């Protein structure tokens, strides 16, 4: 395997991605379990090539991890605390493990580069979870969808990144009408409400919620979804695409 080409990447700048999905009335996040350390978890991330923009780097990283293109992607914050990596205990674990991992690929200078201080650009992504085929990164044992209510402690400042990504998602859900990226192509009004309740972690009154969503004039009503008695079948909707 060839040497890790640190000369191809922008130094001290990285991307971490909070990939949100929705399934079984739960908001979920795709997280990675490291091959290194004991039960160490992290958000998927990567580095930025000198030949690509920051947004293109984020899209590339997401495609590598999910197998999807044209994902809804939002940059929400930069994480630049001076202590975010180099005072963390996992830094020394990573150094020692990389020495054993592949000595030819990860030379001392590469290891020092990988474990140095990085300013992180945080993105969150919204995906149809049923279309995702999780792909391990080089340092991942595996990727796993976890409920936002059941996230194990993560390394570095990734817990903070996730918390702030969820805050940004809640702030943008109505303003930018982005929640429909988490749903399949067609859905019922009750499924929209269940999604909103999962994101905000609180219930909504059905009549008020339905009026609010319909008043946005962003949904196209389709045929009824026949699951039993026809007079009680809910209507299907889809998001109006520009």
**Residue 110 class from Cβ within 10 Å (0-12 exposed, 13-18 middle, 19+ buried)?**
middle
Q: How confident is the model at residue 229 (pLDDT cuts 50, 70, 90)?
A: low
**Residue 93 class from Cβ within 10 Å (0-12 exposed, 13-18 middle, 19+ buried)?**
middle
193: nearest Cα among 181, 185, 180 = 180
The encoded tokens of residue 52 equal 């690509």
Mean pLDDT calculated for residue range 157-163: 96
- State the Rg of the chain over Cα: 21
Handedness of CA 30, 35, 38, 44 (dihedral sign): negative
Give the HSE-up count for residue 80: Cα atoms under 13 Å, Cβ half-sphere: 5
Return d(Cα 125, Cα 120) in angstroms, integer.
16
Handedness of CA 188, 190, 194, 196 (dihedral sign): positive
> Angle at CA 11, nearest 5°, toward 3 and 51?
80
Place of tokens 């495609």: 63
Q: Say if residues 35 and 100 touch (Cβ distance below 8 Å).
A: no
pLDDT for the residue numbered 88: 79
Place of tokens 């009004």: 189
pLDDT for the residue numbered 43: 97
Q: What is the mean pLDDT of the chain?
A: 91
Q: Count of CB atoms within 10 A of residue 111's CB?
A: 19
Whether the pLDDT of residue 232 is over 70: the answer is no
Return d(Cα 227, Cα 241) in angstroms, integer.
27
Q: How confident is the model at residue 90 (pLDDT cuts 50, 70, 90)?
A: confident
Mean pLDDT calculated for residue range 221-238: 72
Return d(Cα 98, Cα 9) in angstroms, integer.
19
What domains can be seen in the chain, in order of their start residue? 6-179 (3.90.79.10), 183-239 (1.10.10.10)
pLDDT for the residue numbered 4: 79
pLDDT for the residue numbered 183: 93
Supply the pTM of this predicted model: 0.92
Q: Which helix (H) or strand (E) element contains residue 155? A: none
Q: How confident is the model at residue 234 (pLDDT cuts 50, 70, 90)?
A: confident
Return d(Cα 231, Cα 233) in angstroms, integer.
6
SS3 at position 224: strand
Whether the pLDDT of residue 225 is over 70: the answer is no
pLDDT for the residue numbered 121: 98
Return d(Cα 94, Cα 36) in angstroms, integer.
7
Mean pLDDT calculated for residue range 153-176: 94
pLDDT for the residue numbered 91: 85
SS3 at position 235: strand
Whether the pLDDT of residue 97 is over 80: the answer is yes
pLDDT for the residue numbered 113: 92
């Amino acid at each position: 395997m060839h040497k890790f080409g640190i000369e191809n990447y922008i130094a001290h700048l990285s991307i971490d991605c909070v990939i949100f999905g929705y399934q079984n009335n739960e908001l979920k996040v795709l997280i990675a379990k490291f091959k290194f350390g004991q039960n160490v978890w992290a958000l998927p991330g990567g580095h930025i090539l000198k030949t690509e923009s920051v947004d293109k780097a984020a899209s590339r990283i997401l495609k590598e991890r999910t197998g999807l293109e044209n994902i809804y992607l939002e940059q929400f914050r930069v994480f630049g605390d001076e202590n975010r990596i180099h005072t963390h205990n996992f830094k020394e674990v990573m150094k020692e493990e990389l020495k054993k991992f592949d000595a030819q690929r990860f030379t001392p200078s590469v290891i020092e580069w990988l474990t140095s201080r990085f300013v992180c650009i945080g993105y969150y992504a919204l995906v149809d979870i049923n279309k995702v085929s999780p792909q391990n990164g080089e340092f991942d044992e595996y990727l796993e969808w976890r409920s936002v209510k059941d996230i194990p402690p993560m390394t570095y400042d990734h817990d903070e990144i996730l918390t702030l990504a969820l805050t940004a998602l809640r702030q943008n859900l109505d303003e930018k009408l982005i929640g429909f990226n988490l749903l399949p192509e067609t859905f019922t009004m009750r499924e929209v409400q269940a999604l909103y309740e999962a994101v905000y972690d609180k219930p909504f009154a059905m009549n008020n919620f339905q009026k609010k969503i319909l008043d946005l004039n962003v949904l196209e009503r389709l045929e009824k979804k026949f699951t039993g008695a026809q007079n009680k079948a809910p209507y299907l909707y889809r998001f109006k695409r520009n």
